[in-house]
Amino acid sequence: MTTLYGIPNCDTVKKAQRWLQANGIEFSFHDFRKDGLEQQQLEQWAATLGWETLLNKRSTSWRQLDDEIKNNIDEQSAIREMLISPTLIKRPLLELNGQYQVGFKEANYASLF
């Protein structure tokens, strides 16, 4: 099963959804805010992808964090902050057969499918 994680108003998530639909790929959409996240899930993503890859340091949410948190961020605190504010997670996150892809690039999606 293919799952696309993100938030519905994110332009990059919308692009990924349109690409999947245009290519006839069935997927479920998991809204970080509405459907929630589990710490275990974030820990698994961090272990597979690396927490630095998962953490979106270009987001408004990151810029709004206290400098003390940003200057001392590590895997444990990053996971804690992403649980509190899922918009800190790079989007979209695609899960396909235990593999993960962060962000959307048409060529990367085409090579996965």
The residue segments making up the domain with residue 28 are: 2-112
Q: Is the pLDDT of residue 1 over 90?
A: no
The pLDDT tens digits for 14-72 are 999 999 999 999 999 999 999 999 999 999 999 999 999 999 999 999 999 999 999 99
The pLDDT tens digits for 68-109 are 999 999 999 999 999 999 999 999 999 999 899 999 999 999
Residue closest to 85 by CA, chosen among 106, 61, 67: 61
Query: What are the catalytic residues?
Result: 10
Residue closest to 110 by CA, chosen among 1, 20, 17: 20
Would you call 59 exposed, middle or buried from its count of C-beta atoms within 10 A (0-12, 13-18, 19+)? middle
Query: What global pTM score does this model have?
Result: 0.93
**CATH number (domain holding residue 68):** 3.40.30.10
Name the domain count of the chain.
Answer: 1
Cβ atoms of 13 and 7 within 8 Å: the answer is yes
DSSP 90: -
